[in-house]
Amino acid sequence: MFKKLFISVSLLFISYSASAQRERVENLPNFDKPLIHYGFYLGLNTNGFKVSYKPSSFANANVEVTSEVGFNVGLIGDLKLHKNVNVRFEPGLISNTKTLRFTHTANDGEAIREVGNTYLHLPIIFKFSTDRLNNIRPYVLGGASFDYNFSSNESNQNDNFSGQFRQNASNFMYEVGIGVDFYLPYFKFSPSIRGIFAITNELKPDNRGPSQWTDPIDFMGTRGVFLHLSFE
Protein backbone atom coordinates (compact mmCIF):
# COMPACT_ATOMS: atom_id res chain seq x y z
CA MET A 1 0.00 0.00 0.00
CA PHE A 2 2.80 2.42 0.92
CA LYS A 3 4.66 1.83 -2.32
CA LYS A 4 1.52 2.41 -4.43
CA LEU A 5 0.74 5.61 -2.53
CA PHE A 6 4.34 6.80 -2.78
CA ILE A 7 4.43 6.13 -6.53
CA SER A 8 1.12 7.94 -7.07
CA VAL A 9 2.23 11.00 -5.09
CA SER A 10 5.62 11.03 -6.82
CA LEU A 11 4.10 10.82 -10.30
CA LEU A 12 1.72 13.66 -9.49
CA PHE A 13 4.49 15.98 -8.40
CA ILE A 14 6.88 14.88 -11.12
CA SER A 15 4.20 15.82 -13.63
CA TYR A 16 3.77 19.17 -11.92
CA SER A 17 7.51 19.72 -11.81
CA ALA A 18 7.95 18.80 -15.46
CA SER A 19 5.33 21.36 -16.41
CA ALA A 20 7.09 24.00 -14.32
CA GLN A 21 10.43 23.14 -15.92
CA ARG A 22 9.02 23.66 -19.40
CA GLU A 23 7.94 27.11 -18.27
CA ARG A 24 11.37 27.66 -16.64
CA VAL A 25 9.74 28.67 -13.35
CA GLU A 26 11.93 28.01 -10.32
CA ASN A 27 10.02 27.93 -7.05
CA LEU A 28 11.66 29.00 -3.78
CA PRO A 29 15.00 29.90 -5.41
CA ASN A 30 16.61 30.85 -2.07
CA PHE A 31 15.26 27.95 0.00
CA ASP A 32 18.59 26.11 0.36
CA LYS A 33 20.68 29.15 1.26
CA PRO A 34 20.00 29.41 5.04
CA LEU A 35 22.22 27.39 7.35
CA ILE A 36 19.26 26.09 9.38
CA HIS A 37 15.61 25.51 8.57
CA TYR A 38 12.68 23.67 10.15
CA GLY A 39 9.65 21.62 9.19
CA PHE A 40 7.43 18.74 10.18
CA TYR A 41 6.57 15.29 8.89
CA LEU A 42 3.84 12.71 9.01
CA GLY A 43 3.36 9.33 7.44
CA LEU A 44 2.43 5.67 7.68
CA ASN A 45 4.41 2.62 8.67
CA THR A 46 4.26 -1.14 8.80
CA ASN A 47 6.57 -2.61 11.42
CA GLY A 48 7.31 -6.23 12.22
CA PHE A 49 10.02 -8.08 14.12
CA LYS A 50 13.12 -9.89 12.96
CA VAL A 51 13.33 -12.99 15.13
CA SER A 52 16.33 -15.32 15.49
CA TYR A 53 16.42 -18.41 17.66
CA LYS A 54 18.75 -20.28 20.00
CA PRO A 55 18.76 -23.88 21.28
CA SER A 56 16.14 -24.53 23.93
CA SER A 57 13.95 -27.30 25.31
CA PHE A 58 11.19 -26.32 22.85
CA ALA A 59 11.40 -28.10 19.50
CA ASN A 60 10.74 -26.32 16.19
CA ALA A 61 10.43 -22.91 17.81
CA ASN A 62 8.80 -20.35 15.53
CA VAL A 63 7.11 -16.98 15.98
CA GLU A 64 4.89 -15.62 13.21
CA VAL A 65 4.62 -11.82 13.17
CA THR A 66 1.84 -9.84 11.50
CA SER A 67 1.47 -6.07 11.73
CA GLU A 68 -1.18 -3.44 11.20
CA VAL A 69 -0.65 -0.07 9.55
CA GLY A 70 0.62 2.52 12.01
CA PHE A 71 1.44 6.23 11.86
CA ASN A 72 4.44 8.44 12.44
CA VAL A 73 4.55 12.19 13.09
CA GLY A 74 7.24 14.62 14.19
CA LEU A 75 9.35 17.74 13.69
CA ILE A 76 12.41 18.51 11.56
CA GLY A 77 15.50 20.54 12.33
CA ASP A 78 17.88 20.71 9.34
CA LEU A 79 21.50 21.93 9.38
CA LYS A 80 23.34 22.46 6.07
CA LEU A 81 26.88 21.03 6.17
CA HIS A 82 27.54 21.37 2.44
CA LYS A 83 25.45 22.32 -0.58
CA ASN A 84 24.73 18.59 -1.06
CA VAL A 85 24.89 17.34 2.54
CA ASN A 86 22.55 18.08 5.45
CA VAL A 87 22.25 16.64 8.94
CA ARG A 88 18.76 16.45 10.38
CA PHE A 89 17.23 15.90 13.80
CA GLU A 90 13.73 14.46 13.39
CA PRO A 91 12.15 13.81 16.81
CA GLY A 92 8.74 12.20 16.63
CA LEU A 93 6.36 9.41 17.56
CA ILE A 94 5.92 6.02 15.89
CA SER A 95 2.86 3.95 16.72
CA ASN A 96 1.85 0.49 15.47
CA THR A 97 0.40 -2.84 16.56
CA LYS A 98 1.86 -6.30 15.95
CA THR A 99 0.42 -9.76 16.56
CA LEU A 100 2.77 -12.57 17.57
CA ARG A 101 1.78 -16.20 17.15
CA PHE A 102 3.99 -18.75 18.90
CA THR A 103 3.37 -21.81 16.71
CA HIS A 104 5.40 -24.16 18.94
CA THR A 105 3.36 -23.67 22.12
CA ALA A 106 1.40 -26.58 23.52
CA ASN A 107 -1.73 -24.61 24.35
CA ASP A 108 -3.33 -22.71 21.46
CA GLY A 109 -5.03 -20.38 23.91
CA GLU A 110 -1.61 -19.09 24.98
CA ALA A 111 -0.13 -18.90 21.50
CA ILE A 112 -1.05 -15.31 20.58
CA ARG A 113 0.17 -12.03 21.97
CA GLU A 114 -0.93 -8.61 20.66
CA VAL A 115 1.85 -6.05 21.03
CA GLY A 116 1.02 -2.36 20.74
CA ASN A 117 4.07 -0.12 20.53
CA THR A 118 4.44 3.65 20.76
CA TYR A 119 8.03 4.82 20.32
CA LEU A 120 9.61 8.18 21.01
CA HIS A 121 11.86 8.28 17.94
CA LEU A 122 15.01 10.44 18.16
CA PRO A 123 17.04 10.04 14.96
CA ILE A 124 20.07 11.84 13.58
CA ILE A 125 19.85 11.62 9.79
CA PHE A 126 22.42 12.48 7.11
CA LYS A 127 20.81 13.54 3.84
CA PHE A 128 22.84 13.42 0.60
CA SER A 129 21.20 15.33 -2.24
CA THR A 130 21.94 15.78 -5.91
CA ASP A 131 22.18 19.28 -7.36
CA ARG A 132 18.79 20.87 -7.82
CA LEU A 133 17.17 20.48 -11.24
CA ASN A 134 14.69 23.34 -11.40
CA ASN A 135 12.03 22.18 -8.91
CA ILE A 136 13.15 18.65 -8.04
CA ARG A 137 16.07 17.23 -6.10
CA PRO A 138 16.51 13.47 -5.43
CA TYR A 139 18.33 12.31 -2.31
CA VAL A 140 19.39 9.33 -0.22
CA LEU A 141 19.62 9.32 3.55
CA GLY A 142 20.85 7.26 6.45
CA GLY A 143 21.25 7.57 10.17
CA ALA A 144 20.72 6.13 13.62
CA SER A 145 18.22 6.72 16.39
CA PHE A 146 17.49 6.22 20.04
CA ASP A 147 13.96 4.89 20.53
CA TYR A 148 12.02 4.75 23.78
CA ASN A 149 9.04 2.40 23.83
CA PHE A 150 6.34 3.86 26.08
CA SER A 151 4.30 0.62 25.89
CA SER A 152 7.14 -1.85 26.45
CA ASN A 153 5.88 -3.09 29.86
CA GLU A 154 9.54 -3.48 30.83
CA SER A 155 8.89 -2.70 34.50
CA ASN A 156 5.76 -4.84 34.71
CA GLN A 157 6.29 -7.77 37.09
CA ASN A 158 3.74 -9.84 35.17
CA ASP A 159 5.21 -11.76 32.24
CA ASN A 160 3.93 -14.21 29.63
CA PHE A 161 2.85 -16.64 32.33
CA SER A 162 0.29 -13.96 33.24
CA GLY A 163 -0.47 -13.13 29.61
CA GLN A 164 1.85 -10.10 29.41
CA PHE A 165 4.47 -9.83 26.65
CA ARG A 166 7.33 -7.52 27.64
CA GLN A 167 10.03 -5.61 25.75
CA ASN A 168 13.04 -3.51 26.64
CA ALA A 169 12.04 0.16 26.69
CA SER A 170 15.30 1.69 25.42
CA ASN A 171 16.61 0.66 22.01
CA PHE A 172 18.87 1.79 19.19
CA MET A 173 17.99 1.54 15.51
CA TYR A 174 19.31 2.62 12.13
CA GLU A 175 17.40 3.72 9.04
CA VAL A 176 18.06 4.22 5.35
CA GLY A 177 15.91 5.63 2.58
CA ILE A 178 15.46 7.41 -0.73
CA GLY A 179 13.26 10.33 -1.69
CA VAL A 180 12.74 13.44 -3.77
CA ASP A 181 12.45 17.12 -2.80
CA PHE A 182 9.72 18.99 -4.68
CA TYR A 183 9.99 22.79 -4.54
CA LEU A 184 6.43 24.11 -4.62
CA PRO A 185 5.41 27.78 -4.70
CA TYR A 186 5.06 28.11 -0.92
CA PHE A 187 6.89 25.16 0.67
CA LYS A 188 9.09 22.15 -0.04
CA PHE A 189 7.42 18.74 -0.09
CA SER A 190 9.62 15.65 0.34
CA PRO A 191 8.16 12.14 0.12
CA SER A 192 10.51 9.29 0.97
CA ILE A 193 10.48 5.57 1.55
CA ARG A 194 12.54 4.47 4.55
CA GLY A 195 13.52 1.23 6.21
CA ILE A 196 14.17 1.03 9.95
CA PHE A 197 16.14 -1.75 11.65
CA ALA A 198 16.74 -2.45 15.36
CA ILE A 199 20.34 -2.82 16.52
CA THR A 200 19.60 -3.88 20.10
CA ASN A 201 17.51 -6.81 21.32
CA GLU A 202 14.02 -5.65 22.27
CA LEU A 203 12.95 -8.88 23.97
CA LYS A 204 12.72 -8.93 27.78
CA PRO A 205 12.90 -12.55 29.01
CA ASP A 206 10.23 -13.96 31.28
CA ASN A 207 10.94 -14.03 35.01
CA ARG A 208 11.14 -17.81 35.27
CA GLY A 209 11.72 -20.75 33.00
CA PRO A 210 11.27 -22.81 31.11
CA SER A 211 9.33 -20.19 29.13
CA GLN A 212 7.90 -21.30 25.82
CA TRP A 213 7.52 -17.66 24.82
CA THR A 214 11.00 -16.24 25.43
CA ASP A 215 13.47 -19.11 26.01
CA PRO A 216 13.78 -20.07 22.30
CA ILE A 217 14.37 -16.46 21.14
CA ASP A 218 17.91 -15.19 20.79
CA PHE A 219 17.08 -11.81 19.20
CA MET A 220 13.88 -9.90 18.48
CA GLY A 221 14.16 -6.48 16.87
CA THR A 222 11.97 -4.09 14.93
CA ARG A 223 12.05 -4.16 11.13
CA GLY A 224 9.80 -1.69 9.34
CA VAL A 225 9.00 0.37 6.27
CA PHE A 226 7.89 4.01 6.43
CA LEU A 227 6.13 6.25 3.97
CA HIS A 228 7.56 9.57 5.20
CA LEU A 229 6.06 12.90 4.03
CA SER A 230 8.04 16.02 4.98
CA PHE A 231 6.85 19.63 4.75
CA GLU A 232 9.52 22.32 5.06
Phi, psi at 109, each rounded to 5°? -65, -20
pLDDT at 138: 97
Q: Point out the least confidently predicted range of 5-9, 110-114, 195-199, 223-227.
A: 5-9
Residue with the bigger pLDDT between 83 and 24: it is 83
d(CA 130, CA 99): 40
Give 161-200 pLDDT, tens digit per residue. 888 899 999 999 999 999 999 999 999 999 999 999 999 9
User: Which uninterrupted H or E stretch holds 63?
Assistant: strand 63-67
- Going from the N-terminus, what domains does the chain have, and what CATH number goes with each? 2-231 (2.40.160.20)
Could you give the C-alpha distances from 61 to 58, 99, 104, 160, 189, in angstroms and in order? 6, 17, 5, 16, 45
**Residue 135 pLDDT > 90:** yes
User: Which uninterrupted H or E stretch holds 93?
Assistant: strand 92-102
Q: What is the mean pLDDT of the chain?
A: 88
**Residue 7 pLDDT > 80:** no
pLDDT at 90: 98
pLDDT at 20: 47
Give 22-66 pLDDT, tens digit per residue. 556 789 999 999 999 999 999 999 989 999 998 888 888 889 999
Name the pLDDT band for 226 (thresholds 50, 70, 90).
Answer: very high
Question: What percent of the chain has pLDDT above 70?
Answer: 88
pLDDT at 208: 83
Question: HEC states along 124-191?
Answer: EEEEEECCCECCEEEEEEEEEEEEEECCCCCCCCCCHHHCCCCECCEEEEEEEEEEEEEECCCCEEEE
Q: Give the closest residue to 229 by CA, choosing from 96, 113, 92, 98.
A: 92
Name 144's bridge partners. Answer: 124, 174
